[in-house]
Amino acid sequence: MRQRDFTRRSKGVLLALSCSILALSTAQAEAKAAAAAKPIPQLVQKDGKFALMVDGAPFLILAGQANNSSNYPAVLPKVWPAIADMHANTLVMPVAWEQIEPTEGKFDFSFVDTLISEARAHNVRLGILWFGTWKNTGPSYTPTWVKTDNKRFPRLTNKDGSTSYSLSPLYDATRDADKKAYVELLKHIKAVDGDRHTVIIVQVENEVGVYGAARDYSPKADALMAQPVPAALLKKLGRQPGNWREVFGDDADEYFHAWSIAIYCDNIAAAGKAVYPLPTYMNDALKDPLNPKQPAGSYASGGPTYNVLDIYKVAAPHIDLLAPDLYTAASNSYEASLKFYRRADNALYIAESGNKPVYARYIFSALGQQAIGFDPFGFDYTGYANYPLGAKDWSKDSVKPFGTVYKLFGGMDRVWAKLSYESQVWGVSEPDDHTAQTLDLGAKWNAKVTYRQWQFGMPEWDPENKAGFPEGSDVPSGGVAVAKLSDNEFLVAGLNARISFGNGPANKDKGMLLDRVEEGHYDAGGKWVFERVWNGDETDYGLNFTGEPVLLKVRLATYEK
């Protein structure tokens, strides 16, 4: 090759090279800019209120959780239709240790890839459940090389010396093996989704703890319990130094197990956050909120039950929130649990809820407690039904009660989340005995919520029906959620309920009037779209919500008496 040709050629190569470097750096710069414009999902807190920020703005998780064995590509076509019928904006799906690391050190993320790409196609976000050391307290989702090797990965010892089904949290070998797989999962999610944020939240393990024992009673555990209780925990609980038994007496066994599991999971979560800091949570198989004397072990001892939340808060700073799995339909129990998990240091998130129709109404009280999301269990069309815990004969009809409520909030998931974070929200669900509830909306206003009403007049006016109530209203299904838009203006969403506004103490000498009641909805950009004004019969007997989702903007005023 002649020198001139060579020079011309090499110049061309250089030019092409510098062009592609330029293209690369432009692409990198664009990706960087996109990532900066769409920061990684994050749980934020301000003035005791929480928001899950997704792509830089508050987001309300309206999720459906698939059944346990729906985590394979072949099953997904039976999942998406249920999520669509539900009007959910998020699918919550397990990813199991056994499926991503069937052979030690060899990872398979094919399901994760399919899940993420199909979620995008369905315009749905994802919550990932890490089924690792604990799934409903047992190791069933660990790979064969873990669950069959008690020597390397010891199970805990029951009080009578027998071996428990549950793995002990006291062994680094188990924790490190779990952590390695979890970190690989997070690395992979970052690689395929770091600029898209289809995955918005991760649950670390699933219903940790143990049944049938309060803790590991092995000699190793006994030796650890004889050690001093960590200073940070003493400080948080206001206790004097000593070993676990000295400090906590009868609670020592449960507290020690909770601490051991919490530091184990925190270690895993921290390693995951170091590679890709998605928001994390742990879910809990609940201790009966109405029976403080229920003995540990008859519920999942060591899990983040309401009585050990402080322990988790100290031991697990890399777990963003602790969340209840709500499977008791009784309204007093459900509401009591919501109150336990809504704390100034803990955002309320309904990690699981039963799927019988009566559970759908609890979305209203959860949102009233400033919940960042709701995720009832068992939403797919695989033919599996967890009756008698959940609904029988699972079908499209089972999804409907949840879909109806989600439809109400779905169009305003970001609007609601922003109001919940920056303004004030209230919400109530129909109690089992249908009694009325009062919302204290501040100094100027309040509201009474009643159930089993017609849209007009009073129940006792019904000449046809002796009981006076609308048919079917004996089964509680109602709820109302209210958000403050300005001093005198409220957004009201309701189903099967009547809300009647009234004057608060600051307006007590005045008359109250409904200045304007607009029915409408929010568009995709979060702008209110007016549909009509409610007046006359529609407002003379309170604002009456039927089983059809309706959104109202209500402006209140007073007149001089």
Contact 530, 479 (CB under 8 A): no
Which of 109, 377, 394, 402 contacts ligand DGJ by CB under 6 A?
Answer: 377
Contact 59, 53 (CB under 8 A): yes
The CA distance from 271 to 128, in Å, is: 16
Nearer to ligand DGJ, 136 or 488 (CB): 136
DSSP annotation of 287: P
Is 137 near ligand DGJ (CB under 6 A)? Answer: no
Nearer to ligand DGJ, 377 or 426 (CB): 377
Nearer to ligand DGJ, 280 or 446 (CB): 280
* Least gap, CB of 83 to ligand DGJ (angstroms): 17
Nearer to ligand DGJ, 312 or 501 (CB): 312
* Least gap, CB of 202 to ligand DGJ (angstroms): 15
* Least gap, CB of 382 to ligand DGJ (angstroms): 13
* Least gap, CB of 324 to ligand DGJ (angstroms): 11
Tokens (6 digits) for 176: 């490190």
Contact 495, 477 (CB under 8 A): yes
Contact 83, 124 (CB under 8 A): yes
Is 539 near ligand DGJ (CB under 6 A)? Answer: no
Region label for 434, one of left (φ > 0), alpha (ψ between -120 and 50) or beta (otherwise): left
Is 386 near ligand DGJ (CB under 6 A)? Answer: yes
Site for ligand DGJ in 185-224 (CB under 6 A): 206-207
Nearer to ligand DGJ, 193 or 375 (CB): 375
* Least gap, CB of 391 to ligand DGJ (angstroms): 11
Tokens (6 digits) for 273: 């956050």
The CA distance from 470 to 192, in Å, is: 52
- Which residue type sits at 500? S
Is 394 near ligand DGJ (CB under 6 A)? Answer: no
Partnered with residue 417 across adjacent β-strands are: none
Site for ligand DGJ in 464-523 (CB under 6 A): none
The CA distance from 320 to 201, in Å, is: 10
Is 171 near ligand DGJ (CB under 6 A)? Answer: no
Partnered with residue 44 across adjacent β-strands are: 51
* Least gap, CB of 342 to ligand DGJ (angstroms): 20
Partnered with residue 42 across adjacent β-strands are: 53
Is 68 near ligand DGJ (CB under 6 A)? Answer: yes
Tokens (6 digits) for 107: 């990872």
Nearer to ligand DGJ, 352 or 413 (CB): 352
Contact 501, 556 (CB under 8 A): yes
Q: Is 377 helix (H, G, I), strand (E, B) or coil?
A: strand
Is 328 near ligand DGJ (CB under 6 A)? Answer: no
Give how many residues touch ligand DGJ by CB under 6 A.
9
Which residues does 159 contact at the CB level (< 8 Å), separation at least 6? Answer: 213, 214, 217
Nearer to ligand DGJ, 395 or 435 (CB): 395
Q: Is 528 helix (H, G, I), strand (E, B) or coil?
A: strand
* Least gap, CB of 115 to ligand DGJ (angstroms): 17
The CA distance from 559 to 511, in Å, is: 5
The CA distance from 324 to 346, in Å, is: 11
Nearer to ligand DGJ, 366 or 412 (CB): 366
Which of 98, 178, 325, 335 contacts ligand DGJ by CB under 6 A?
Answer: 325
* Least gap, CB of 166 to ligand DGJ (angstroms): 15
Contact 165, 240 (CB under 8 A): no
Nearer to ligand DGJ, 68 or 544 (CB): 68
Residue of 49, 43, 46 whose CA lies nearest to 61: 43
* Least gap, CB of 285 to ligand DGJ (angstroms): 6
DSSP annotation of 18: H
Contact 352, 362 (CB under 8 A): no
Nearer to ligand DGJ, 275 or 385 (CB): 385
* Least gap, CB of 116 to ligand DGJ (angstroms): 21
* Least gap, CB of 205 to ligand DGJ (angstroms): 10
* Least gap, CB of 78 to ligand DGJ (angstroms): 17
Residue span 337-366 as binding mask against ligand DGJ, x where in contact by CB under 6 A, dash where not: ---------------x--------------
At 511, phi and psi to the nearest 5? -90, 150
The CA distance from 320 to 273, in Å, is: 11
Residue of 41, 46, 82 whose CA lies nearest to 64: 82
Contact 489, 531 (CB under 8 A): no
Residue nearest to ligand DGJ as judged by C-beta position: 386
* Least gap, CB of 379 to ligand DGJ (angstroms): 12
DSSP annotation of 444: S
Is 136 near ligand DGJ (CB under 6 A)? Answer: yes
Partnered with residue 512 across adjacent β-strands are: 558
* Least gap, CB of 326 to ligand DGJ (angstroms): 10
Nearer to ligand DGJ, 98 or 207 (CB): 207
Q: Largest Cα–Cα distance in the chain?
A: 107
Q: Is 167 helix (H, G, I), strand (E, B) or coil?
A: strand
Nearer to ligand DGJ, 290 or 389 (CB): 389
Partnered with residue 101 across adjacent β-strands are: none
Nearer to ligand DGJ, 377 or 490 (CB): 377
Nearer to ligand DGJ, 147 or 418 (CB): 147
Is 389 near ligand DGJ (CB under 6 A)? Answer: yes
Which residues does 540 contact at the CB level (< 8 Å), separation at least 6? Answer: 456
- Under the rule (CB under 6 A), what is the footprint of ligand DGJ? 68, 136, 206-207, 325, 352, 377, 386, 389
